[in-house]
Amino acid sequence: MNTTAIELVEAGRFMHSKGWVPATSGNFSAKLPDENIAITTSGVHKGKMTIDDIMLISSDGIPVDVSSNGNKKPSAETLLHVQIYRQFKDARSVLHPHSIYATLLSKTKKDKIILQDYELLKAFPGIDTHACSVVVPVFKNNQNIEELAEVVGKYFNKGIPVFGYLIEGHGFYAWGKSVDDCLKQVEAFEFLFQCEYMSLKS
Ligand SMILES: [Zn+2]
């Protein structure tokens, strides 16, 4: 758990330095070899986290090892992490930033963003050319996470290739086969969202 917790803490510092997780927003997780999930606790500042701000939950999202977890609560959006791990068997990390360009782009009243003809699309698994499209669905924000997960689940079940999704006025979710791999995709999404938003305005 400790090595994974350190990776999440470092991801938090990096993302906060980029302005992608302002205040106490965002949440991160990583799957351990025993299938339990290390996840950020609720309400923690991602730029100032320590490994004590990471807790362990089961693959169903239930806190494990209550004695060492004390009164910690997992992220309010835990269900969305659990859902991604269930859906994508290769996913070993989920990162959820609340960044400026993701937020602005999610508020442009589109139900999906289509990223195409960008060299950086090659950051996503299985893509080896700019000449393709990556569809990023945009879901309505909802404080009821179960309802939000239901909408996301319906989209996943359509079987359309998906590497991440936006939530309107909120941020986005991305996943990868390690914390580093996920961070690479978050960085790619950030660049692409910024390009898309700026080209809308030009
Ligand atoms: Zn959020």
Edge-to-edge order in the sheet of strand 54-57? 54-57, 37-40, 27-31, 93-96, 171-176, 164-167, 133-139, 112-116
189 Cα to the center of ligand 1, angstroms = 16
Q: Give per-residue pLDDT as tens, 20-75.
A: 999 989 999 999 999 999 999 998 999 999 999 999 999 999 998 766 666 788 88
Q: Report the half-sphere exposure of 94 (CA within 13 A, side-chain side).
A: 28
158 Cα to the center of ligand 1, angstroms = 24
121 Cα to the center of ligand 1, angstroms = 24
Computed over every residue of the chain, the mean pLDDT equals 93
**pLDDT on residue 180:** 97
Domain 2-201 class in CATH:
alpha beta
Element spanning 156, H or E: helix 145-156
96 Cα to the center of ligand 1, angstroms = 7
63 Cα to the center of ligand 1, angstroms = 20
CA distances from 170 to 25, 58, 121 (A): 10, 26, 23
175 Cα to the center of ligand 1, angstroms = 14
**What end-to-end distance do the CA atoms of the chain give, in Å?**
46
Is the pTM higher than 0.85? Answer: yes
**pLDDT on residue 70:** 66
Report yes or no: 95 and 174 within 8 Å, Cβ to Cβ: yes
